[in-house]
Amino acid sequence: MSTTRSTAAGKVLEVLSAFDREHPSQTLSEIAQRTGLALSTTHRVVAELAGWGILERAEDGSWHVGLRLWEIASGCPRTQILRDVALPFMQDLYEVTHENIQLAVREGTELVFVERIAGHRSVELLTMVGTRFPIASTGMGRVLLAYAPQEIQEEVLDAPLRAWTPHTVVDPKALRAQLDRIRREHVFVSDRQLSESTVAVAAPVRIGRAGPVSAALGVVITAQGASRARRLREPLLRAAHGISEELGRRTRTTS
């Protein structure tokens, strides 16, 4: 047993990690099975988390993440300012496009979606707020990868890349060329890389116009409307630049 799992905090983290998009609700036995913890230990940890409102119990006896955990997570400094700044620009971009608008950040070799605006007619997506994907799997991820530290890029390029669709670029040489083009053009059209039904247009968000890249902003449309992708570049870049400038202004104000 690892040192982390032998601690009380480690057991709490094991239980919380058992919940994800594929397993949003679980019985006590299922949590124990997924974590590898003894049923008695799982019961004790779950009861304590429930006392804090971190986990909640449904009428059928299963457990799910509680509102208190969402309240705590929503205060994450790394994303709170970003989301506060980005949301008005994302709303404006949605009014122009009436398509899915997404915001994502990089964590290691993965990207995490932190905000999204979508209409009821927008194309259905595999991605949702709070989900994470390998960074090379989405258009927004490839934008983040293009501006990631060199060691992160090499780690991703040296590892086997998953082909999500027949259109996914997985050849390291081709991906390197793609990343070079993103850095030159500051925008990227991802044609059915993650799903055969969607095309994404993504751009970097910086801290100030010339500052480091902190996030990626994207518009996702149906693959049937792929001809619209080029027309989305200008409004997308306008929104990304607006977010970047406001982030830079707030950084200067608080420094």
Domain that residue 30 falls in: 3-72
Q: What is the pLDDT of residues 39-54, one digit of tens each?
A: 999 999 999 899 888 8
Copy the structure tokens of residue 163.
Answer: 């082909």
> In terms of pLDDT, which residue wins out, 217 or 249?
217
Give yes or no: residues 154 and 238 share one domain: yes
Give yes or no: residues 64 and 139 share one domain: no
Give yes or no: residues 124 and 228 share one domain: yes
Give yes or no: residues 157 and 239 share one domain: yes
Last residue of a domain, one of 45, 72, 99: 72
Determine which of 103-112, 121-130, 132-141 has the lowest per-residue pLDDT on average: 121-130
Beta strands in the chain (DSSP E): 25-26, 55-57, 63-65, 100-107, 110-117, 132-134, 188-191, 198-206, 213-222
Q: Do 229 and 199 contact (CB within 8 A), yes or no?
A: yes
Name the one residue in this structure whose structure tokens are 């990304």: 240
Average pLDDT score, the chain: 86
Give yes or no: residues 13 and 37 share one domain: yes
Last residue of a domain, one of 46, 72, 98: 72
Stated length of the chain: 255
Give yes or no: residues 134 and 204 share one domain: yes
- Antiparallel, parallel or unpaired: β 100-107 and 110-117: antiparallel
What's the number of domains the chain is made of?
2
Cα–Cα distance, 116 to 252 (Å, whole number): 27
Q: Is the pLDDT of residue 6 over 70?
A: no
Taking CA atoms, 104 is separated from 5, 98, 130, 205, 255, in Å, by 30, 19, 9, 10, 24
Give yes or no: residues 44 and 95 share one domain: no
pTM of the model: 0.72
